[in-house]
Amino acid sequence: MKKIITVVGARPQFIKAAAVSRAFRDAAGFEEKILHTGQHFDSNMSDVFFEELDIPRPHFHLGIGGGGHGKNTGRMIEQIETVLVDERPDWVLVYGDTDSTLAGALAAVKLHIPLAHVEAGLRSFNKRMPEEINRKLTDHASDLLLTPNASAVETLAAEGISGRHVVNVGDVMYDAALVFGEKAEAKSSVLRVLDLGPGTYVLATVHRQENTDAPVRLRNIFSGFAASPLPVVLPLHPRTRQRIAAFGVDIPGNVRVVDPLGYLDMVMLEKNAALIATDSGGVQKEAYFHGVPCVTLRDETEWNELVQLGWNTLASPERDDLAGVFSKKYLPGQLGAAPYGNGDAADRILKELTDYN
Ligand code: UDP
C-alpha cells in the first residue's frame, strides 16, 4: 500500500486533484490523504468543488489564507512539515503553480519524502508572475515530473531536467473536462437560471494578479468588454471584485457579473459560449477541450500550442486595442491535434507513482 499526501489549496488544484482522486479510489494499492492549505476558503471557491466533484474530504485543513505570499507560504511550510513528519507518506503530490504547491514541495524535499509534480514544465517566461516562480522552483525540487504536453518536456530539458523521471502523461484537466463535462450536461441548470441560449454570450474570467493589481490593465479589459456585440458573462473572482471596488472601475452595461461558479455550471457555460475571454490558465485549455475560440487577456501564455492551432488569440491588456479585439468574430481553430493526451492522465500518473525507482 502506497500512502500519498496530496497538497491542494486553490480552485484549479481541486479540479486537477478530483481527476486523480477518482483514479486513486478505483485502483488498489493506494491510500490518499488530502491536505487543504486553506489558500482558497470561500464556499464557492472551495467547498463546492469537494461536493460536486466527489473529492474526499480533506484529512488535514490548515486554514491558511488571506495573507501575503511570504506569510502564507511560510506558515504552510511549517504546518505541512508537521503533518508529513507524523504521516511519513511514500509520496507528496503537488499540482500546478500556487503558493500551496511550493510550500508542499519545500516541506517534502527537506524531509527527503519523494515529491511528484503534476503539470510540470509549464513556463510563461515572465518572472513577475508569482506562479512562474512557484512552478519553476517546484520542478527543480521534484523527483517525478509529470507534464501535460510534449513542449513541457522540452522546456525542462532546456533547464537541465531530463531522463526517465520526466514523463509526459497528458493533462489531468482534459480528464476532468471529459468526465465532469458529461456530468455537467446532466446536472447543470445554469443556462436556464441565467436565461442564456447557446452561442449568445461571451464567457469571461479575470483574476491574474498582473491584471487585477494594475488599474490601467483592469480598466482596459472592461472597456474592451464594452465593445463586445454579445453580452459578457463574468463569474467574478473575489480578488478582482475587491480591486474593481478599490480602483473604482466602471462595469459596462453589457457585462453581467455573477458570483464564482461551481465547476459543473462553469463547464456548461464554457461549452455553450460563443467566445471565451480569460486570463486563466485552465480556462484557456477548457475552451479548446469544448471547441470554443478563446481570447487570452495576457501578454504571453504557457499554452502556446493553442495559439499555433488557432484556438487562442493573445490580447495584451496593456498594449493591444481590446475594443478592436472584442468587436471581431472568431472561428474555431484546427481540429485533430491532441497536444494534451487522451484523457487518461490520471491513470498514467498512478502508474508512474507505482513504477518509480
Ligand atoms: N472555474 C470554476 N468556476 C469559476 C471560474 C473558474 O469552476 O467561476 C474553474 C475553471 O473551469 C477551471 C479552473 O476553475 O477549471 C481554473 O481556475 P483559475 O482560473 O482560478 O486558475 P488558473 O487555471 O488560472 O490557475
Interior/surface letters 58-91, b for 16+ CB within 10 angstroms, e for the rest: bebebebbeeeeeebbbbbbebbbebbeeeebeb
Specify the pLDDT at position 141. 98
| Beta strands, E only, the chain | 2-8, 30-36, 60-61, 91-95, 115-118, 144-147, 166-168, 202-205, 232-235, 255-258, 275-278, 294-296, 312-314
Which pLDDT score, from 0 to 100, does residue 266 have? Answer: 98
As a whole number of angstroms, the distance between CA 295 and CA 125 comes to: 20
Q: Please indicate whether residue 207 is annotated as part of the active site.
A: yes
* C-alpha span between 41 and 211 (Å, rounded): 22
Q: 52 C-alpha vs ligand 1 centroid, how far in Å?
A: 14
Please give the distance, rounded to the nearest whole angstrom, from the Cα atom of residue 272 to the centre of ligand 1: 16
Among the atoms of ligand 1, which is closest to the Cα of residue 284? 23
Could you read off the pLDDT tens digit of each residue along the chain, which spans 357 residues? 999 999 999 999 999 999 999 999 999 899 999 999 999 988 999 999 999 999 999 999 999 988 999 999 999 999 999 999 999 999 999 999 999 999 999 999 999 999 999 999 999 999 999 999 999 999 999 999 999 999 999 999 999 999 999 999 999 999 999 999 999 999 999 999 999 999 999 999 999 999 999 999 999 999 999 999 999 999 999 999 999 999 999 999 999 999 999 999 999 999 999 999 999 999 999 999 999 999 999 999 999 999 999 999 999 999 999 999 999 999 999 988 889 999 999 999 999 999 998
Q: Report how far ligand 1's centroid is from the alpha carbon of 260 (Å).
A: 9
**Helix (H) or strand (E) segment spanning residue 75:** helix 69-87
Give the C-alpha distances (Å, rounded to integers) separating 81 from 8, 40, 113, 196, 297: 15, 20, 11, 47, 37
pLDDT at residue 336 in the model? 80
SS3 54: coil
Residue 261 CA, ligand 1 centroid: distance in Å = 9
* Residue owning grid cell 490518499: 32
Asked if 120 contacts 93 with a C-beta cutoff of 8 angstroms, the reply is: no
Q: 301: how many CB neighbours lie within 10 A of its CB?
A: 18
Instruction: Assess whether the C-beta atom of 283 lies below 6 angstroms from ligand 1.
Output: yes
**Residue of 135, 279, 280, 289 best suited for mutating to test ligand 1, as the one with most atoms within 8 Å of CB:** 280
Q: In what order do the strands lie in the sheet with 60-61?
A: 60-61, 30-36, 2-8, 91-95, 115-118, 144-147, 166-168
266 lines ligand 1 (CB under 6 A): yes
Predicted confidence at residue 47, as pLDDT, reads: 94
User: Which residues make beta-bridge pairs with 7?
Assistant: 35, 94
Atom of ligand 1 nearest to the CA of 15: 15
Q: Where are the alpha helices (DSSP H) in 149-249?
A: 150-158, 172-187, 190-193, 209-212, 215-226, 238-247
Would you state the pLDDT for residue 314? 98
b or e along 239-272 (b: 16 or more beta carbons within 10 Å of the residue's beta carbon)?
Answer: ebeebbeeeeeeeeebbeeeebbbbbbbbbbbbb
Catalytic hit among 36, 40, 117, 207: 207
Contact (CB, 8 A) for 176 and 161: no
3-state SS, 2-39, equals EEEEEEECCHHHHHHHHHHHHHHHHCCCEEEEEEECCC
Nearest-angstrom CA–CA distance, 36 and 27:
22
91-95 and 115-118 beta bridge pairing: parallel
Among the listed residues 137, 124, 147, the one whose alpha carbon sits nearest the alpha carbon of residue 69: 137
pTM of the model: 0.96
* Closest C-alpha among 331, 332, 326 to residue 254: 326
